[in-house]
Structure 1
Amino acid sequence: MKSSIGARLGTAGRFLPTLALGLTGGGLAYALHIPLPWLLGAMFATTLASLSGARLRSPGRGRKGVLVVIGVMLGAAFTPEMSGDLRLWTMSLAVMLLATAVMMVFSVWFSCRVAGHSLDTALYAGVPGGVSAVTGMALDSGADLRVVGMTHAVRILVLLVAIPPVLKGIGHVSLQPTGMDLAQWLWLPGPADTAWLAGAGVLGAWLGHRLHLPNALLFGPALVSAGLHLTGLTHAAIPPTLIALAQVIIGVSVGVRFTGTSLAKVGHTLVMAGLQALGLLAIAILAAWAIHAATGVSLPAALLAYMPGGAPELSLVALSLGIDPAFVTSHHLLRITVLILLMPVLLNLCRRWSALGKH
């Protein structure tokens, strides 16, 4: 028992320099008034350090805890005062699934024909979301796991970097971080609210695993927290310091994925992944514009909801910028669920078509 605790403390201690780098990057970005400062600042700092050869540590179990916190935060966006039109949400969800199918076709085509990857690699690298589940599924396939992991990491990096200029380009102007005084930063919920939030996190994590939800530590707490807030049992909010820390750890989680990456050896993979991500981003923008023009759905919300992957990252962006996080989260939950359920079917179909093409 003591050795287990000691090992965990040792792991946490080794992560502290990486966390300090992320906090420094986030703090600098905040001081410079960069949009999404804690997330992008931490991501830029750790990505540059990783590509420079620094051996950065992953948050490990810390990221799991942050996913629970983000889930509880997202659930708090589901309030009794929500004015979402169910018909519009249904139409938007349908368009999102159609856009996801187009993204999948484009990704597989691009990976096979342009990047030169195998069919298995193309399928798992091209899934627009659910990186953890997809990587786990790819373990039992013939996919190149390094290409799969790097493609997903580069895609999330490109999407997060693109969000501020794209939102600015479509007219969403509330991107600059709002300054807060020390009292606001140090605000904490009362004991009762803290108990509600902690209970939603613990129960949600357990329920997410029991129900086998995709990204259980994120969506389980989100569902329980949403139930509590929708019914009015609590109006508890997450303290701003915890939100900033969650952004830093998510940013660090993206950056450390490039640790051990040699630009000379994997330059082709990085370039191909970047080009593929830009293609998927273009599809998301077109789909978001189409549903906005047809129904009047918020264009920024549709864009974040349709972006291909990174449910924790994109949901956290929606929450941080106040862009209908309930709408965005619901779309990503449906997308990941459908993709995970259909992946075995898609893989078998593609292999059959590939075999027929050879004959």
Structure 2
Amino acid sequence: MRDAMERSLVGLGRFLPTLALGLGGGGLAYALHLPLPWLLGAMLATTVASLAGARLRSPGRGRQGVLVVIGVMLGAAFTPEMTGGLTLWGASLSMMLLATAVMMAFSVWFSRRIAGHSLDTALYAGVPGGVSAVTGMALDSNADLRVVGMTHAVRILVLLVAIPPVLQAIGHVDLGSAMTDPAQWLWLPGPADAAWLAGAGVLGAWLGHLVRLPNAMLFGPALASAALHLTGVTHAAVPPTLLALAQVIIGVSVGVRFTGTSLAQVGHTLVMAALQALGLLAIAILAAWGIHAGAGVSLPAALLAYMPGGAPELSLVALSLGIDPAFVTAHHLLRITVLILLMPVLLGACRRLSA
């Protein structure tokens, strides 16, 4: 145990410069009153440094702990007073699955015909979500893991950068109102509420692994916290300081994925991934607009729910901006579950068709 603790401390020490860079980027974005400052500031600072050749360290297991915190925060959005009936949610979930099928078809076509990737690479790089699970599944295939990883990383980067201007363009969200009052930074829940939230995180993570939930460290605590809040056991929220720190670490986690990436060597892959991401974003916008016009679903909520991938990142954005986090989280959980279950079937069918 002592050796494990020493390794953890060494890993933390090596990660501190990266964390400091992320905090600096987030703090600068906050001072400039940019939207989603802690997330986008940290992500852009570490992405630029990575592409410039800096050897940044990943949060490692620290990211798992942050996912637990985010899950508990998301669960707090499930309240007995939740608006929107089951019929509305059902219509939106159905539209999301239809949009996901269109996104998958477009991604595979684009990767094969435009980018020139192999079938296995096109399939795993084209999955609109579940990057951790998809990358793990790709290990047992003939996919080019570097292309798969970069495609997903670039997609998340493009989506997060696009969110503020897209939301402002549709005119339904005042991003400035989402800024936290500096006087609220020191707020903390009471001891009893803090104990309930901590228990939801620990028990939810354990149960998530036990029942093999996709992204168990995120969705397990989210479901446990949701149960506590829906039943009225607690109404506590997570302190805004933790929310800001979670945004920084998630932003850093995206930025460090480009460490060791040479623009000269992988420029084609990066450009193809960015173009593919823009195509998927267009599909998400059209689907969100369709369900908004047809069923009256909130356009910003539908947009974040339909965006292809990055469940922790997009759920965190919904939470940070107050855009129906429960709605967004439920959609991403269903999509990831369906995709993981269908991937072996899709891979086999595509291989038979191309044979």
Give the alignment's TM-score, normalised by structure 1.
Answer: 0.98
Q: Which residue in 2 is equivalent to 1:354?
A: 354
- 2:142 matches 1:142: yes
DSSP 3-state at the match of 2:352: helix
Partners of 2:182 and 2:278 in 1: CA distance:
38
| 4+ residue segments displaced more than 2 Å | none
Q: Which residue in 2 is equivalent to 1:152?
A: 152
Partners of 1:179 and 1:203 in 2: CA distance:
30
Q: Which residue in 1 is equivalent to 2:261?
A: 261
Within 5 Å, give how 1:187-198 maps onto structure 2: 187-198=187-198
Q: Which residue in 2 is equivalent to 1:39?
A: 39
The superposition leaves residues 115-168 of structure 1 with CA deviations (integer Å, 9 ceiling, x where unpaired) of: 000000000000000000000000000000000000000000000000000000
Q: Which residue in 1 is equivalent to 2:238?
A: 238
Partners of 1:295 and 1:334 in 2: CA distance:
20
- 2:276 matches 1:294: no
The amino acid that maps onto 1:161 is V
Partners of 1:117 and 1:179 in 2: CA distance:
44
- Quote how far apart the aligned CAs of 1:179 are: 4.6
Partners of 1:84 and 1:318 in 2: CA distance:
17
DSSP 3-state at the match of 2:175: coil
Within 5 Å, give how 1:311-322 maps onto structure 2: 311-322=311-322
Partners of 2:276 and 2:111 in 1: CA distance:
8
Partners of 2:338 and 2:182 in 1: CA distance:
43
The amino acid that maps onto 2:67 is L
Q: Which residue in 2 is equivalent to 1:5?
A: 5
The superposition leaves residues 157-196 of structure 1 with CA deviations (integer Å, 9 ceiling, x where unpaired) of: 00000000000010123212425134x1011111001100
- 2:272 matches 1:272: yes
DSSP 3-state at the match of 1:195: helix
DSSP 3-state at the match of 1:197: helix
2:120 and 2:142 in contact (8 A); partners too: yes
Q: Which residue in 1 is equivalent to 2:332?
A: 332
Q: Which moved more, 1:1-10 or 1:265-274?
A: 1-10
- Quote how far apart the aligned CAs of 1:236 are: 1.0
DSSP 3-state at the match of 2:228: helix
Partners of 1:179 and 1:101 in 2: CA distance:
37
- 2:21 matches 1:14: no
Q: Which residue in 1 is equivalent to 2:281?
A: 281
Q: Which residue in 1 is equivalent to 2:105?
A: 105
- 2:122 matches 1:118: no
The superposition leaves residues 208-243 of structure 1 with CA deviations (integer Å, 9 ceiling, x where unpaired) of: 001100000000000000000000000011000000
Q: Which residue in 1 is equivalent to 2:28?
A: 28
Unpaired runs of 5+ residues, structure 1, are none
Q: Which residue in 2 is equivalent to 1:178?
A: 179
Give the alignment's TM-score, normalised by structure 2.
Answer: 0.99
- Residue-pair matches, total: 354
Partners of 2:253 and 2:216 in 1: CA distance:
18
The amino acid that maps onto 2:309 is G
Partners of 1:62 and 1:251 in 2: CA distance:
13
DSSP 3-state at the match of 1:151: helix
Partners of 2:278 and 2:32 in 1: CA distance:
27
Partners of 1:178 and 1:132 in 2: CA distance:
30
Q: Which residue in 1 is equivalent to 2:342?
A: 342
Q: Which residue in 2 is equivalent to 1:83?
A: 83
- 2:51 matches 1:51: yes
The superposition leaves residues 245-286 of structure 1 with CA deviations (integer Å, 9 ceiling, x where unpaired) of: 000000000000000000000000000000000000000000
2:72 and 2:197 in contact (8 A); partners too: yes
The amino acid that maps onto 2:332 is H
DSSP 3-state at the match of 1:117: coil
Partners of 1:18 and 1:350 in 2: CA distance:
41
The superposition leaves residues 286-308 of structure 1 with CA deviations (integer Å, 9 ceiling, x where unpaired) of: 00000000011000000000000
2:180 and 2:240 in contact (8 A); partners too: no
- Quote how far apart the aligned CAs of 1:4 are: 1.5
The superposition leaves residues 197-217 of structure 1 with CA deviations (integer Å, 9 ceiling, x where unpaired) of: 000000000000011000000
Percent identical across equivalent pairs?
A: 84
Partners of 1:181 and 1:348 in 2: CA distance:
54
Partners of 2:3 and 2:67 in 1: CA distance:
26
- Calculate the aligned-residue CA RMSD, in Å: 0.6
Partners of 1:186 and 1:321 in 2: CA distance:
20
